[in-house]
Chain A
Amino acid sequence: MKKIAIVGVGIHPFGRFGEKSYQQIGQEAVRMALKDANVAWKDIQVAYLSSQYLPSTAASRVLKPLGETGISLVDVEAACASGGVSVNIAMLAVQAEACDLALAVGVEKMPRGFMDPMMNFEKWQVQMGLSTNPSYWAMSARRHMHDYGTTEMHLAKVAYKNHKNSVDNPNSMYRKAFSIEEILASPIVCYPIHLLEICAPNEGAAAIILCPAEKAHKYTNKPIYIEACVHVVAAYSSDFRVPIESMSARIENPSPVTLASQKAYEKAGVGPMDMDLIELQDTDAFCELQIYENLGLCKKGESGKLIDDGTTDRNGRIPVNVSGGLISKGEPVGASHLGQIAEIVYHLRGQAGARQVANAKIGMAQVLGARGNCAVTILKR
């Protein structure tokens, strides 16, 4: 397959922006990416926009005001992995030689508070009170604690690391370090998960511009190559996440994160230990631990040890969520993976400012959400 390069990135900070429309938020990220690639909107030949909570035809609502071009503007949705799909199909469009310059953009402006449970759950689940999203993560966490001796302290250390990292990220919603004591003293959302250990839905956008690798130097002297971009939906009974009503007690299939990352490693010809940095789905602090295991950063049950020994600290062997992660940035669902990709591109270009991971050459972004939608992207400079 033809090698694909990212030649422009743009990001609108993640947070809450009052009356500012999602169109404005998305357009700012797109304009920034266009400028970064030294191209004009009329040069883009196809665009994919990922979101979960925007109205139908969001792609044309956000992008048509940039100027009439007559190109295909496509809406994409795959829950928390939506951005992985927009990048994947933009890449495929360029690989198929249907176009030379493609745009993938994620935009979100989410309602405040709990997401409307009827978007995910059946009516009977909502009526019976089974529609509390974090309780499913909490159930996974409690079983992991029971099986492997993972503790509340392990979770608190993940949140401590990510909050501390966020201080240097101007695109993050929260930029405040918290002590372990403060984290453990914050209200329990669903035991063992505390308020300072969970991400908030919010608003934001990020965009990338892709082209065939051999043409990248027309646009940038720092092309970043997409070594792999994989989207999967969980294999049968392999992921305990909303809105699931039951799990098999007989079958143990590999998790969607395992599935997607194995495919991505194979395509890229690398392994988890080759990464210079990773941005991953810390929907809550336990989720980050579970994903360490499923990405193969450690064996099953040993994620607590991994956070204990500092491997994933900013100065550790494989820094994870140097951006501050979802716990600090918030999760504008459709924009989340594009935001991770923008972050990694900045590090690989050496443009990440105070949070720069020294001499980063290869990085990985991973998202996971409802119904086991998962995406993994590996980038190399």
Chain B
Amino acid sequence: MTTSQPAAKGKRVAIRQDLFTTPLDDLNAVHLKGTKCNDCGEVFMGHVISCAHCGSESMKGIVFNDQGTLYTYSVIQYVPPGDYKGPKDPFIPFVEGLVELPDGIRIVAPVLDCDPKNARINMPLKLKVYDFFKDEEGNDVVAFCYVPA
């Protein structure tokens, strides 16, 4: 669920359901949401109803820490296949990272505002939530990435 902005042409919509805290008005105040298993403590991105580790259905919603570190990464040097919404003309190579959060999860995410030459395993990162592209209805589609902290 997303909150519409008053008096805007379009509204802000999330690129993926149940991943962002709401409202989306002030993107600096938006965090990633997850689900934690009350039995084994494993955490998952977004909303899940059962634990893929232990099978428990006793789950609670959590908000992830914004801070993380770069567990590993690769550099995307060519336009990704399919309907990529980032800059294509010209394409800007970017770091794709596996970002470890203190919550006990590693998330695959773009690591932006970071020259691929400067990326290092274990470098500190922080979440950035931003307007990524406009959909057909003129809505701003909100995505996430990590940037050097």
A interface residues with partner B (beta carbon < 8 Å): 113-118, 121-132, 135-136, 138-140, 142-143, 146, 188, 190-191, 236-237, 240, 244-251
Specify which chain A residues have a CB less than 8 angstroms from the CB of B43 in the assembled complex: 248
Q: Are A132 and B81 within 8 A (Cβ)?
A: yes
* Other-chain residue from B45, B72, B75 in contact with A245 (beta carbon distance below 8 A): B45
Whether B138 sits at the interface, judged by CB under 8 Å, is no
Q: Are B86 and A143 within 8 A (Cβ)?
A: no
User: Measured between alpha carbons, how far is A135 from B98 in the docked complex, in Å?
Assistant: 11
In the complex with contacts A132-B96, A135-B96, A250-B104, A127-B84 CB distance below 8 A = yes
Chain B 10-22 interface mask (CB, 8 Å, partner A; 1/0): 0000011000000
* Other-chain residue from A117, A129, A139, A246 in contact with B94 (beta carbon distance below 8 A): A129
- By Cβ-Cβ distance, the 8 closest A-B pairs, closest first, are A138-B74, A143-B72, A114-B81, A117-B82, A126-B82, A124-B16, A135-B74, A129-B80
User: Measured between alpha carbons, how far is A191 from B15 in the docked complex, in Å?
Assistant: 28
* Other-chain residue from B15, B45, B132 in contact with A246 (beta carbon distance below 8 A): B45
Specify which chain A residues have a CB less than 8 angstroms from the CB of B44 in the assembled complex: 246
Q: How many A-B residue pairs have CB under 8 A?
A: 125
Q: Which residue of B lies closest to A126 (CB)?
A: B82
Q: Nearest Cβ in chain A — how far from B143, in angstroms?
A: 6
In the complex with contacts A130-B110, A143-B121, A237-B53 CB distance below 8 A = yes
* Other-chain residue from A117, A124, A190, A251 in contact with B81 (beta carbon distance below 8 A): A117
User: Measured between alpha carbons, how far is A188 from B78 in the docked complex, in Å?
Assistant: 11
Whether B76 sits at the interface, judged by CB under 8 Å, is yes
Of listed A115, A125, A132, A188, residue having the most chain B CB within 10 A = A132
Q: Nearest Cβ in chain A — how far from B104, in angstroms?
A: 5
B interface residues with partner A (beta carbon < 8 Å): 15-16, 41-45, 52-53, 71-78, 80-86, 94, 96-98, 100-101, 104-110, 121, 132-133, 141, 143, 145
* Other-chain residue from A117, A128, A146 in contact with B85 (beta carbon distance below 8 A): A128
Q: Nearest Cβ in chain A — how far from B140, in angstroms?
A: 13
Specify which chain B residues have a CB less than 8 angstroms from the CB of A247 in the assembled complex: 98, 105-106
User: Measured between alpha carbons, how far is A143 from B94 in the docked complex, in Å?
Assistant: 18
User: Measured between alpha carbons, how far is A127 from B82 in the docked complex, in Å?
Assistant: 8
Of listed A123, A129, A130, residue having the most chain B CB within 10 A = A129
User: Measured between alpha carbons, how far is A246 from B101 in the docked complex, in Å?
Assistant: 11
User: Measured between alpha carbons, how far is A281 from B55 in the docked complex, in Å?
Assistant: 31
Q: Are A129 and B72 within 8 A (Cβ)?
A: no
| Residue contacts A-B, CB under 8 angstroms, 26 given | A116-B82, A122-B16, A124-B15, A127-B133, A127-B141, A128-B84, A129-B76, A129-B85, A129-B86, A129-B110, A131-B80, A132-B80, A132-B81, A135-B96, A136-B74, A138-B74, A142-B72, A142-B73, A143-B121, A190-B74, A236-B42, A236-B53, A246-B45, A246-B107, A248-B53, A248-B105
Specify which chain A residues have a CB less than 8 angstroms from the CB of B77 in the assembled complex: 188, 190
Q: Are A127 and B101 within 8 A (Cβ)?
A: no
A-B contacts besides A237-B52, A245-B108, A246-B107, 6 pairs, CB < 8 Å: A126-B83, A127-B141, A129-B94, A244-B108, A247-B106, A248-B106
User: Measured between alpha carbons, how far is A247 from B45 in the docked complex, in Å?
Assistant: 10
Q: Are B121 and A246 within 8 A (Cβ)?
A: no
User: Measured between alpha carbons, how far is A117 from B81 in the docked complex, in Å?
Assistant: 7
In the complex with contacts A114-B81, A122-B16, A140-B104 CB distance below 8 A = no
Q: Which residue of A lies closest to B94 (CB)?
A: A129
Q: Nearest Cβ in chain A — how far from B50, in angstroms?
A: 12
User: Measured between alpha carbons, how far is A354 from B45 in the docked complex, in Å?
Assistant: 52
In the complex with contacts A244-B108, A251-B53, A142-B74 CB distance below 8 A = yes
User: Measured between alpha carbons, how far is A246 from B106 in the docked complex, in Å?
Assistant: 5
